Amino acid sequence: MQNDEVASIFREIAMMLELRGENFFRIRAYERAARVIEEAGFEVIRATEGQLSALPGIGNDLRKKIEELRRSGECALHRKLRAEFPHGIFEMLAVPGLGPKTVQRLYRTRGIDSLNALQRAAESGQLRTVEGIKSKTEQNILRGIELIRAQAQVIPPWTARETAVRAQEYLKCCAGMARVHIAGSLRRRRSTVHDIDLVAAGKDPAQILREWRRAPWIKEVIAEGETKSSVRTTEHIQVEVRAVLPHRYGAALLYFTGSKQFNIRIRQEALRKGMKLNEYGVSALSRSAAAGRMNAAAEREETMFAALNLPWIPPELREDKGEVEAARRGSLPQLVGPEQIRGDFHVHSSYSDGQSTISEIAAAAQETGYKYIGICDHSQGLRVASGLTREQVLKKKKEIASLQSRFHIRILCGTEVDIRADGSLDYPDEVLEEFDLVIAAVHSGFSQSRVQMTRRLVSACRHPKVHILAHPTGKLRGAREECEMDFKEVTAAAARHRVALEINSFPHRLDLDESRARQAGEAGVKLAISSDAHRHADLNVLSYGIDIARRGWLEANQVLNCMSWAEVQQWKRG
């Protein structure tokens, strides 16, 4: 971790403390520390205590934060503060000239909680109704947003979906529109999306594109033609629309969904069967009456596959990783779907570093349609995340018991217990007995050797009280790669001791990824899809984990939270 990354974390802490309305001097201490760290002539993450002490403004508390970053790659205070606000708030804080006080005012008084919402409010002149914002301020905000969009390389998943749906709804209203569908990497549910693709069909494709280019949030037309339009939105997101006649819609959707490798593989499959396949349709290679009949298949994706004697392949699998061969054998997986999820095992409450009460979480989970919800707060050793002492555990358990009669949903009293460096757990067995659900996780010491980390995780799997191993690889998107370990050995231990591996759905983790999830599933390990939500409003991030599970070829019988709680308990007992 470089100095600028450490400084960025401290600067964000300062901004979030200001959003909270915290003590002025505490806020300024973090701001000053960020500047000092940026200007330091050495890497603070590798510095000695003496070197850190010599830096002006770096006192004991800040030194401990730097030590924490060195040990684990993250700061619990930073994570706790981030959990208190919607994801979009942090995008807004990045707008030049838009300070925390103004962001807080916009959020509290107008409900503006994302860059997209801020953009729309500024363009419509609504910001001028907020105290302290004038016309010039609005223009500065718009220019700042444009700068942020220009610098963005990967679209956050929630923004990608919002933009795609907005484009899809607009296209549906175009004259002569018959069908429109999101395509590309977003349809395949990749966790990294760089642009948005859509395929539309209508009797006059050129007219559809002319109307499309009049969308009020299109900033720039990059390329245009009779069947293709590539634009950049006011949020600086590239959107490409392909418009075709209805009888070619299925072929175009298949082709522009991709991936590139899948398209090559499916074309090879067509050639093997004496056919030609492209974005216009599928036809026999020989010039015969059969060719015209085969092109009739181009209207729908399903008939395109049927023309090749294949079942429809779900978009999430189209990566040329064996799906065509599985389709040919008739052995494609029946992918897990959101309607099969019965609960969420991993949610943090205000007892530790969460923002919501247990009652708020239970109400939101019940509204979602879940049958159970796991309230898994941190264990005592993780003090920076307000880990619970035994006394607090008993208090929490008592509160859950008193709340249970108010809800149809089962509220599970759980814990996210820390796995110590030697593989032991942060609570003794007599405390673990108090919990319905035990999730074990590593939160520090990620620099351990491959052998040490493997031994540490295997040891946790062996513990008879552990149900789930959380965010198993320790990955943090854009901040920390997977820790060194023998994943095959860990999955073998998990299978042997009936411990599920978690697919952590929180957007900054997404751990396990699709390849690890598939590897675990093939090893006979159960997967638990969890939100790791720190606010009840974030329970819906579970959808990102479902996407990973589907891309990892997982079926419902491989996913722990597709089981009832009674079935989970029976599974654990063997």
Regarding whether 466 and 388 lie in a shared domain, the answer is yes
For residue 416, pLDDT beyond 90: yes
Task: Identify the domain boundary among 244, 271, 306.
Answer: 244
Is the distance from CB of 344 to CB of 542 less than 8 angstroms?
Answer: yes
Report the distance separating Cα 444 and Cα 382, nearest Å: 10
Q: How far is CA 114 from the centre of its chain?
A: 16
Asked, for residue 136, whether it belongs to a domain, the answer is no
Confidence grade of residue 147 (pLDDT, cut at 50, 70, 90)? low
Q: Has residue 95 been placed in a domain?
A: no
Evaluate if pTM is beyond 0.85: no
Residue 14 lies in domain: 1-72
Query: What is the domain-level CATH number for residue 217?
Result: 3.30.460.10
Strands 228-233 and 218-224: antiparallel
Question: For 83-156, where are the alpha helices, taking DSSP H only?
Answer: 87-93, 100-110, 115-123, 135-151
Separation between Cα atoms, residue 205 and residue 221, nearest integer Å: 17
Do 27 and 175 share a structural domain?
A: no
Tell whether the model's pLDDT for residue 479 goes beyond 60: no
Asked if residue 312 and residue 281 are part of one domain, the reply reads yes
574: tokens are 């063997």
Same domain, 227 and 304: no
**Alpha-carbon span 424 to 459, nearest angstrom:** 7
DSSP E strand boundaries for 196-317: 196-202, 218-224, 228-233, 238-244, 275-278, 281-284
Say if residue 258 is in the same domain as residue 200. Answer: no
Q: What is the pLDDT of residue 133?
A: 82
**pLDDT (average), residues 340-350:** 96
Does 343 lie in the same domain as 319?
A: no
Name 284's bridge partners: 275
CA angle 42, 47, 48 (to 5 degrees): 140
CA distance 137 to 106: 13
SS3 label, residue 501:
strand
How many Å apart are CA 275 and CA 256, to the nearest integer? 19
With CA atoms as reference, report the closest residue to 439 among 459, 454, 419: 419
Residues with Cβ < 8 Å from 366, sequence gap 6 or more?
A: 407, 408, 409
Q: Does residue 7 sit in helix, strand or coil?
A: helix
Beta bridge partners, 197, equal 183, 240
pLDDT band at 349 (very low <50, low <70, confident <90, very high): very high
pLDDT of residue 287: 58
Centre a 10 Å sphere on the Cβ of residue 170 and count the other Cβ atoms it contains: 18
Q: 126 falls in which pLDDT band (50, 70, 90)?
A: confident
Number of domains in the chain: 4
Please tell me whether residues 235 and 255 are part of one structural domain. Answer: no
The tokens of 478 are what?
């854009």
pLDDT at 394 > cutoff 90: yes
- How many whole angstroms separate alpha carbon 510 and alpha carbon 530? 10
Structural domain ending residue among the three candidates 72, 90, 125: 72
Domain-terminating residue out of 244, 267, 299: 244
32-68, pLDDT tens digit by residue?
888 788 767 677 888 888 888 878 888 888 988 888 8
Ranges 293-297, 452-456, 495-499: which has the least confidence: 293-297
225 and 181 share one domain: yes
